[in-house]
Amino acid sequence: MNAIGPIITKYRKDMHLTQSELSELLKKEGIDVSDKCLYSWESGRTEPGVKQLFTLCKVLGIKDIYEEIFGVNPYNPLNRLNEEGKERASEYVDMLAANEKYAKNNAPVIEISTVRTIRLYELGVSAGTGNFMDNEAFEEIETDEFVPIEADFAVHITGDSMQPLFQDKQIVYVQKNVELEDGDIGIFVFNGEAYCKKLMKNKKGTALISLNKKYDPIPIDENSAISVLGKVIV
């Protein structure tokens, strides 16, 4: 069973909300809680009441708190389906709801927005020479259903070393906290400069690879200062 505190923290951070901002959103829904109260919930010192918890679910977009806490909701038949199956089932529900024979009288129309905002960092991640990404310089941009929900932030590519897959000034979307495997494309900070590169990790060693063959691999050894900012997912 998962604790409620980390669930609140995860969804709050996914929405790029501070505890103060979440507190204000809850107040608009009639739940008057302080920053200290939210901190107490997230740290596990206390837990929200039933009304507070359901309002948190509404504000944070937690669709199935049962599943979040217990890992699986046996009362939800959709959990027997994979993601594609869930989409098909949702489409079928929409078809039935549009038919007066099956639609529930006075049922509310729920519109689910596919638009969300993520950070687009202003300084380009070099695909050639390397530019340092200033973590404070960013703008909030809206995404749509074509951007994977796993995307945590976005960056501009600069240069031509990742052509033909990525072009100069193209925006790519990145998922944080992912362990990269051999062949994955990621955003790296190597010796103080940010790169978009393909990771090569095999018996021959480890290196950052450009897709454009005119650029040499960047070898990585025990003396290299390198960190992974995330995996490029689109």
36: closest CA among 27, 16, 45? 45
Which CATH entry fits the domain spanning 116-232: 2.10.109.10, 1.10.150.20, 3.40.710.10, 3.40.50.170?
Answer: 2.10.109.10
pTM listed for this prediction? 0.51
Task: Render pLDDT for 22-72 as a digit per residue (tens, 0 to 9).
Answer: 999 999 899 888 888 899 899 988 888 889 999 999 999 998 888 888 888
CA distances from 91 to 87, 88, 145 (A): 6, 5, 16
184: closest CA among 229, 215, 118? 229
Quick check: 207 and 219 in contact, CB under 8 A?
Answer: yes
Name the least confident of 7-21, 97-111, 155-169.
97-111
Task: Render pLDDT for 88-147 as a digit per residue (tens, 0 to 9).
Answer: 888 778 777 777 777 777 666 555 555 678 888 877 777 555 554 545 577 888 887 778
Residue 60 confidence (pLDDT): 92
Quick check: 102 and 92 in contact, CB under 8 A?
Answer: no
Residue 128 confidence (pLDDT): 55
Higher pLDDT, 114 or 197: 197
Residue 111 confidence (pLDDT): 54
167: closest CA among 214, 123, 128? 128
125: closest CA among 80, 152, 162? 162
Task: Please indicate whether the domains covering 4-70 and 116-232 agree at the CATH topology level.
Answer: no
Task: Render pLDDT for 75-88 as a digit per residue (tens, 0 to 9).
Answer: 888 878 888 887 88
* Domain limits, the chain: 4-70, 116-232
Name the β-bridge partners of 118.
Answer: 141
CATH architecture of the region 4-70? Orthogonal Bundle (1.10)
Task: Render pLDDT for 208-217 as a digit per residue (tens, 0 to 9).
Answer: 999 999 999 9
